[in-house]
């Protein structure tokens, strides 16, 4: 899918039509290729994964994320300086909105499809970002950045549901071609963060993992 195919200034977006729960465990995998669309043009602009509450046709105002309002999250890549930044609540102010940054994504503009992964662990309240040159994330790779962030404080309305997809913005004088070949959401129906264990009507503390044994009336396992 072509997210941007000509000279700037232009903005575009692409969102799944069904909203998804941002407060549970989830994982987003996508591939993006960034190339010049003109031999004498320069790289410029931003693209990235966006989750927001405004609607399935929203586009960032002055860049790929700003203007999307409260209840939004963006993992945005700048194709001018090869950086990855994480913002929340519709702004790109480094103090008020930026919650993470990595400079370790120099291959974003290498002209081939590269792999991106964003994950959220609801129990530990940790966002993680992975990047690999090529079309596959290696399972043993270390994340490029991890961020301690409780998304319950970001997605405070609509029961934590949001539209998820891409946001793109290319400025004047930039001839940047941005394409995606895949986008996959993986999530669980119920995570440990939203589970409750009771014994004799008393809530028990939840650890990182637990095992439930079921026995019949004679004490044998079922």
Q: Any idea what the CATH number is for the domain that residue 111 is in? A: 2.60.120.200
Query: How high is the pLDDT of residue 66?
Result: 80
202 part of a folded domain: no
Mean model confidence pLDDT for the chain? 83
pTM of the complete model = 0.80
Which residues contact residue 34 at a Cβ distance below 8 angstroms, ignoring those fewer than 6 apart? 43, 47, 79, 108, 109, 110, 111, 176, 177, 178
196 part of a folded domain: no
Sign of CA dihedral 49, 53, 55, 56: positive
Residue 48 belongs to domain spanning: 2-190
219 part of a folded domain: no
With vertex at residue 130, the alpha carbon angle to CA 194 and CA 60, rounded to the nearest 5 degrees, is 80
200 part of a folded domain: no
34 part of a folded domain: yes
What's the number of domains the chain is made of? 1
Cβ atoms of residues 93 and 115 within 8 Å = no
101 part of a folded domain: yes
Task: Calculate the alpha carbon distances from 85 to 81, 121, 159 in Å.
Answer: 11, 19, 26
Query: How high is the pLDDT of residue 176?
Result: 78
Low-confidence stretches of the chain (pLDDT beneath 50): none
Query: How high is the pLDDT of residue 221?
Result: 57
Query: How high is the pLDDT of residue 39?
Result: 59
């Amino acid at each position: 899918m072509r997210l941007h195919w000509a000279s700037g200034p232009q903005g575009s977006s692409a969102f799944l039509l069904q909203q998804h729960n941002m407060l549970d465990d989830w994982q987003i995998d996508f591939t993006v290729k960034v190339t010049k669309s003109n031999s004498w043009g320069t790289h410029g602009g931003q693209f990235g994964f966006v989750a927001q509450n405004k609607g399935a046709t929203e586009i960032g105002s002055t860049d790929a994320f700003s203007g999307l309002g409260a209840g939004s999250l963006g993992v945005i890549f700048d194709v001018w300086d090869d950086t990855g930044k994480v913002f929340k609540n519709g702004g790109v102010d480094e103090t008020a909105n930026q919650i993470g940054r990595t400079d370790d994504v120099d291959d974003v503009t290498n002209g081939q499809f590269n792999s991106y992964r964003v994950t959220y662990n609801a129990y530990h309240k940790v966002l993680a970002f992975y990047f690999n040159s090529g079309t596959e994330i290696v399972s043993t790779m270390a994340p490029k950045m991890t961020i301690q962030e409780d998304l319950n404080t970001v997605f405070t309305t609509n029961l934590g549901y949001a539209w998820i997809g891409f946001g793109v913005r290319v400025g004047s004088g930039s001839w940047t071609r941005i394409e995606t070949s895949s986008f996959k959401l993986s999530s669980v129906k119920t995570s440990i963060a939203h589970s409750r264990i009771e014994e004799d009507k008393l809530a028990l503390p939840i650890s990182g993992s637990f095992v439930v044994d079921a026995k019949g009336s004679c004490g044998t396992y079922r």
